[in-house]
Structure 1
């Protein structure tokens, strides 16, 4: 570290002390003597909490009237009020607001290579706070103007100087500039209030504070009071600085004994293990303190478990704007509204905001004034329709708000939510109109009207108060502070994350059975606080101290690095700071000294992914110290094996534990079979079960893999979001081909031929445009529309047209005697049975010739059409096996075969001669499947099925199974499969398919519990 510039030893002294938290008698005597000699003495401490502790100690010693106890920032502000030029010291919030406004006035070229983002605003604010005199007011320091060392520095200097001009125009001054001006005044006049300054426990002194302290040291005396853990701070001073032992060297009260250590294997056991350890510490009413880096998080998890054990607890809640529901919802809505406004009605930019999950989250929030049912309905409506525009979304929000408002007006006004306004649309509308204050006022009105239970059943009143306070504070910031500073609200909004509100949370227990030391009925209360707060407790003031989460993430050893530190060192204004290890050592020693009998350090050894979480340095130091003294370290290890105790708030108390053996995951119980497989309740008579109608695709899914069928058809883990994938593209192709052949038939064109090919292609292009427009409006008979949300997706839609043109060209030379006769032919309601069960669904297309022979055609928007090729199973394979010898033989794809057989049984009584799959994707469309042998292509262009060389039977290779026999064989085998389904067989297929990789990982493993 750099040594600070040399200071006269007569003005600066280092006093070594043995203090912990409270002022020692020697320190009080030093301050008393200084106050008597100088007329006034000042003691600088790091926080207002420590200020109060020191003031109390001085008052008890009857020397409080001559000593000012304050923080460095408040000290500078107080001196400036006495000796300044009338300007007011700027607050941190005002600084951020002005810098944000400054950045908003610059275009990208003016601040390049920097970028206008919250990180840059924060950095410029920090540099302006610490280094404004060096950059923009060098005359105050008696120096020439600093030259930047590069383009980035030049931009930073320009911004800081512009910020200084903004301060001057508003009668404001930075504390760093005020300190620099005061340094000159103090050095000249040496007022009584700045003749003696003592610094105690301050871990970091910025450069401008040290500048003022140097000036005080030149005219009077500055005393650094350092306890044993803080003495490394003296190494940053000049070696000539005098060091004086303030007391007799005897250490003051420290924790007597060895700390205990608690290691928890993982986060699932953390809450239960901590609660159990704290309950043991509380015992019959002991006073216990929990110290943590994030006490609110520990309190949230542990306090309900303590309450279940009859122990109350409390914690000071300090919530930032972004940690409150008001802040989270305001930020999320502002972001999504900005993206929606930028996208406008352009469908190709909808991907930047759709499906707007922020809006669904907003409706789920109590602050919207809506109910969860409305939120679910809204979420489903938005996510299932890709064609919605921002305007349509706003109309939908307004509709839900109006419905809720009307419903509450008609309801009993004594109900808790009757007076709660619904503002889900109003808040979004206000943000759309750039009226953030109105949006916050609407949220505040809802937070005020809501019952406390809306924010939680344990501490709903506290949380409600926090939300109301935060909304009110944000409104004041935007409406008053921004107006006073003449800053636009758009800039003021960006600094709301700096707002904080505080409250005290308490978790009560009504069934406490313990008694205190004196036999009273006072309930023990575990107090949760930060480590710094625990370090301010008087030595031996509590029975036990429990330090939670002692790992490197919560207590790191990290120095401040980055542009600010580099620039401060370059300009000679680097802060004097205590190294992190010494700071932690000091805090831990003082916090543990507060314990009379027990000190426990606890940590979690692994995270949720079972990765190691390493102990903090103080854990390692304290365990090493115990071993060095020749004593055994007391370490308690807790695993994650007790699932009930870990998950239940009351640790399983009052619960009966019973081990149950689960059914095999691929078997259904008798009571479930009749409801989950082939039967369903009669819509007209729910007490009666009727056969469930199955489509060909569902039957094919079951015979391929029963478990996959059960997941996709019964469990149905489907996504709510409308997609843009193969399914939607396939629907689009179906719609185009259906409309093309429908319109050709209506115009008297029975089929595509080589002679009318060009006219049919022209018709295809018109139909394609019409279907595109319909899908863009979500108007389609298919299950999901194809709606492009970006230029890339729009290109993918356009690429479908040439593929369909190739399909139409293929049709011109295929199945010459046949013409499309039945399009999207539905079996629903026809009473057709297949395999002894009612059949539903529809087939894409049935082509019929003049003799009543039919070809079933199923469109498949995929390129690998050969996957649908079907060979005669009576033909021996290369290894000599004959597939048909297996009584359970089934082709991989049976959908078109099922419908071909169904056509034979239907009222149409068609003579099915083929079951084909028509590939429509790529530049080489083709038909593959099973056809009667007379329709196999013999030579190219013969009007049969191009490229299909084998049929039924495949006599050329010794096959004997005709097409009719194939249909009968498949139906018989499927009938046996469906019998197994009716018996509850939903086992996984022996050979997993592509779908199995998705469905089989959804928790289907047998586990006893």
Structure 2
């Protein structure tokens, strides 16, 4: 006997000559097997066979079910391995190996999936085979051998192995149940199925039915059977059934949408048009349209609202993978972050590997945690703002969240929907920490069952809740029952949970319509292809582009290994499969059929049409065929599901960049109410004033827009805070020990004291305790090394102080102006200055620490002295102000608040080359090295030798006058960028409306 290839012209449902062929086969062999690719097509064919009175002699099954049935009759007692069992045993095989044994492979879920695919189709050909010399192939063969041994130990066998053994049994026994098989629409023939069918063909009869769109596969099918020694005949050709006309005779229309924004509205309008133009059916029957697309659930979510607004109901079967559910996403994220936290606690990795743990915040936001958004926000703020919290601190805070949530729930009314919802946010993390995944899933399940459906969404909350519940229950079943039955540990079983999938049916409709226009069912093109001819009123094939329907052949390690073993699967050409499925889907419509696609993406780049679009368009006349085009000009219609009739459209005129409206100006200067009820401006610190004077736009962005960092950082700001704390504590200790200040005589003792203070302040910062705004907390060895580098820098600072400003000693440290009631330039002044040194005569020098390596930008020359290059006098400009004014502002304020004779306003660079720079009166400028004044500062006020006339007091007054003018502009609402902005300004300017039209 031989395998016969039969051409036929039937539709989805067997009819006419095809049914007669099956009837003759039943009459001849008594029992015939019809192989179909899916359970959906199986049900269609079973109804047709029943209508044709073929009786029980025709068994209609999928290839896997056929092999399973034969194995029950002819097998050796072993059970066929299921997909889940295969995943579990492959994972157990893989994760039992040492990483060095697996190289160059890695033990991860991707490798598990690859090996599972290889085992499913290639195990009988790979077991015992000797691979090439490359290491990866040798490891793959050894893993497959080990997997085969695990199957035997558990009394299991792969369907592919069973098929190979059944082929030998059929050859020896020729049982009546395996003498005739008809293959219909099965477009993938693995090597083991070809071998089994070939033996059935030798013993009896095998017929492969190919419709017109599948006939390009004929030569490949014939070659596959010939290679296993089976003769092939191609003699039969069946006629078509009535009504099985092809896509060429159907009424097709083509819709091209200009871009993605108009996609939903255009598709909904097209569906409404198809339903309204569909011929009237039986009385009382609602019209039905089918939408065939690559991702039905996604398109349903996008179109359901638009369709409901047009009185059209819609439905979809949603398949949710483990990783697409909240339960799966949160379990995977928590498992990952817990593993990193445990490794950090054991000293294997740095704390930076897990902090700030955003996964925990996401977990608290998830409804299945039983917490709420307010607690999640508080938790997130506390964790992100404190790098010193540590693993134990985070876990304690998580337990606190659970306790507070539970306490709040107990205070709710008995009829409140959240009254009995358990808070499980901490216990789930603890269960995962203790390697108890089943308990973790059960805790999530308890929260899911108690939550109201609205917690999962107002539109489809009930359906999503059912999906989450089903996924949690399935995960518990896999870990408790399936894994235990196979003697696979729960830790390994959790690695394959991503393969779990649940199905749910969703429907959307509008309550505002008395009678529905019709119903739209979303499905894949493969599902639409098994619909019976003329079974629906309209068909819409959406997103017909190469991204949704590619024609690429499968490549990868599975295909490569199959070729190396001579066990290639016989697969229908992708273009032919697409053509075949599309033609059958089109024939399912008794009315109109439309093809739609989006011609451009969001970046206005072309999206190329699929081969299906091009071929069908060519059948309609090529370039002359009408293609309806929809643009994106209707903005309101594109974004409003109900249409432009209910949307309010307004044209908004934007202000020019960097200009505020009249209503916004009062918010620039924040006010406070005094004891007598008057409104006065809030205090401005010197740094805020300096920021505004330097660039109003930068001040606006930093002080009013305030784009602050989310996480506590390890930046120059934190390092500066650390240096401030060390120097403040150091000078306090110097005074307490009676040394008054650092001198050359006590330098050695001062350096020893600095080491003690540095260690104490470092320990305080590591615990998150600091007088500054942000602690310097190291979370990695690299950051620890950066803190170590600060100590030698500060030792150079102390050595510098021994020779600088000899008559002066630190008198006021971290001095605050907030409660003094001092005005500057007519505005209340607040803030604090790092240090004020005073001598015995009441003279004072204001000092501000700057933890940066270059002090030269803080130099200030007498503005009345002509410039050497141009001869210009800077002070002649009425708007002249120095770039850095902070110490000058506080110097003027100290004259008023404390009556001090301020003689200097300096910036002290504590990094790199230590130096003091700024402005001092002429008596403090250095004349000779080591004279006890300010080392390296040669020019004072006035700079007589350079032709200057402004003394230090005049400088303070001039700066205050200039700042008063600028603050008046601030009150008027000026926030424009500086004409000559600093380099640092460019970080803020993009936030300051440079791209306001974006």
Aligned to 1:623: 617
> Secondary structure of the residue that 2:413 maps to in structure 1?
coil
Aligned to 2:182: 198
Q: What is the distance in 1 between the residues matched to 2:251 and 2:675?
A: 76
Maintained 8 Å contact 1:333/1:428? yes
> Is 2:124 the counterpart of 1:133?
yes
Q: What is the distance in 1 between the residues matched to 2:462 and 2:251?
A: 41
Maintained 8 Å contact 1:679/1:689? no
Maintained 8 Å contact 1:873/1:882? yes
Q: Once the 2 structures are TM-superposed, how far is the Cα of residue 396 of structure 1 from its aligned partner?
A: 0.5
**Measured at CA, do residues 291 and 993 of structure 1 come closer, stay the same or move farther in structure 2, by a change above 3 Å?**
farther
> Is 2:3 the counterpart of 1:19?
no
Larger deviation, residues 853-862 vs 542-551: 542-551
Tell me which of 58, 82, 88 is aligned to 2:49.
58
> Secondary structure of the residue that 1:237 maps to in structure 2?
helix
**Measured at CA, do residues 279 and 871 of structure 1 come closer, stay the same or move farther in structure 2, by a change above 3 Å?**
farther
Tell me which of 650, 667, 685 is aligned to 1:658.
650
Deviations 1:209-239 (A, max 9, x none): 1111111111112111111221122221346
**Measured at CA, do residues 267 and 749 of structure 1 come closer, stay the same or move farther in structure 2, by a change above 3 Å?**
farther
Deviations 1:663-698 (A, max 9, x none): 344333444333x2223354999x974421111111
Aligned to 1:504: 505
> Secondary structure of the residue that 1:657 maps to in structure 2?
coil
**Measured at CA, do residues 901 and 855 of structure 1 come closer, stay the same or move farther in structure 2, by a change above 3 Å?**
same
Any gaps of 5 or more consecutive residues in structure 1?
1-9, 139-144, 514-520
Q: Once the 2 structures are TM-superposed, how far is the Cα of residue 339 of structure 1 from its aligned partner?
A: 0.8
Maintained 8 Å contact 2:636/2:647? no
Q: What is the distance in 2 between the residues matched to 1:434 and 1:693?
A: 55
Q: What is the distance in 2 between the residues matched to 1:856 and 1:267?
A: 62
**Measured at CA, do residues 1006 and 725 of structure 1 come closer, stay the same or move farther in structure 2, by a change above 3 Å?**
closer
Q: What is the distance in 2 between the residues matched to 1:429 and 1:482?
A: 22
Q: What is the distance in 1 between the residues matched to 2:134 and 2:996?
A: 64
> Secondary structure of the residue that 1:619 maps to in structure 2?
helix
Aligned to 1:517: none
**Measured at CA, do residues 341 and 814 of structure 1 come closer, stay the same or move farther in structure 2, by a change above 3 Å?**
same
> Is 2:936 the counterpart of 1:952?
no
Q: Once the 2 structures are TM-superposed, how far is the Cα of residue 727 of structure 1 from its aligned partner?
A: 0.8
Aligned to 2:32: 41
Superposition CA RMSD, Å:
2.1
Maintained 8 Å contact 1:55/1:64? no
Aligned to 1:643: 635
> Secondary structure of the residue that 1:799 maps to in structure 2?
helix
Q: What is the distance in 2 between the residues matched to 1:602 and 1:854?
A: 80
Q: Once the 2 structures are TM-superposed, how far is the Cα of residue 831 of structure 1 from its aligned partner?
A: 0.3
Q: Once the 2 structures are TM-superposed, how far is the Cα of residue 921 of structure 1 from its aligned partner?
A: 1.7
Q: Once the 2 structures are TM-superposed, how far is the Cα of residue 726 of structure 1 from its aligned partner?
A: 0.9
Aligned to 1:357: 358
Deviations 1:303-330 (A, max 9, x none): 1122223222111011011111111111
Aligned to 2:227: none
Maintained 8 Å contact 2:258/2:629? no
Q: What is the distance in 1 between the residues matched to 2:945 and 2:635?
A: 67
- For residues 60-139 of structure 1, the aligned pairs below 5 Å read 60-136=51-127
Q: Once the 2 structures are TM-superposed, how far is the Cα of residue 991 of structure 1 from its aligned partner?
A: 2.5
Q: Once the 2 structures are TM-superposed, how far is the Cα of residue 345 of structure 1 from its aligned partner?
A: 6.3
Deviations 1:170-222 (A, max 9, x none): 11111111111111111122222211111122221111111111111111121
**Measured at CA, do residues 959 and 345 of structure 1 come closer, stay the same or move farther in structure 2, by a change above 3 Å?**
farther
Aligned to 1:516: none
Q: Once the 2 structures are TM-superposed, how far is the Cα of residue 864 of structure 1 from its aligned partner?
A: 2.5
Aligned to 1:561: 555
Q: What is the distance in 2 between the residues matched to 1:158 and 1:180?
A: 21
Larger deviation, residues 492-501 vs 220-229: 220-229
> Is 2:276 the counterpart of 1:283?
yes
Aligned to 1:142: none
Q: What is the distance in 2 between the residues matched to 1:659 and 1:553?
A: 37
> Is 2:678 the counterpart of 1:678?
no
Q: Once the 2 structures are TM-superposed, how far is the Cα of residue 105 of structure 1 from its aligned partner?
A: 1.5
> Secondary structure of the residue that 1:213 maps to in structure 2?
helix
Q: Once the 2 structures are TM-superposed, how far is the Cα of residue 455 of structure 1 from its aligned partner?
A: 0.7
Deviations 1:547-590 (A, max 9, x none): 22222222122222122211111111110001111111111222
Maintained 8 Å contact 2:170/2:199? yes
Q: What is the distance in 1 between the residues matched to 2:297 and 2:44?
A: 23
Q: What is the distance in 2 between the residues matched to 1:941 and 1:294?
A: 80
> Secondary structure of the residue that 2:629 maps to in structure 1?
strand
Maintained 8 Å contact 2:822/2:829? yes
- For residues 908-987 of structure 1, the aligned pairs below 5 Å read 908-922=898-912, 924-987=913-976
> Secondary structure of the residue that 2:773 maps to in structure 1?
coil
Aligned to 1:719: 709
> Is 2:840 the counterpart of 1:850?
yes
Q: Once the 2 structures are TM-superposed, how far is the Cα of residue 610 of structure 1 from its aligned partner?
A: 4.3
Maintained 8 Å contact 2:343/2:349? no
Tell me which of 879, 882, 897 is aligned to 2:888.
897
Aligned to 1:994: 983
Maintained 8 Å contact 2:289/2:538? yes
**Measured at CA, do residues 872 and 609 of structure 1 come closer, stay the same or move farther in structure 2, by a change above 3 Å?**
farther
**Measured at CA, do residues 752 and 680 of structure 1 come closer, stay the same or move farther in structure 2, by a change above 3 Å?**
same
Maintained 8 Å contact 1:197/1:222? yes
Q: Once the 2 structures are TM-superposed, how far is the Cα of residue 423 of structure 1 from its aligned partner?
A: 0.5
> Is 2:19 the counterpart of 1:28?
yes
- For residues 818-829 of structure 1, the aligned pairs below 5 Å read 818-829=808-819
Any gaps of 5 or more consecutive residues in structure 2?
224-230, 278-285
Q: Once the 2 structures are TM-superposed, how far is the Cα of residue 14 of structure 1 from its aligned partner?
A: 0.9
TM-score for both structures, normalised by structure 2 = 0.95
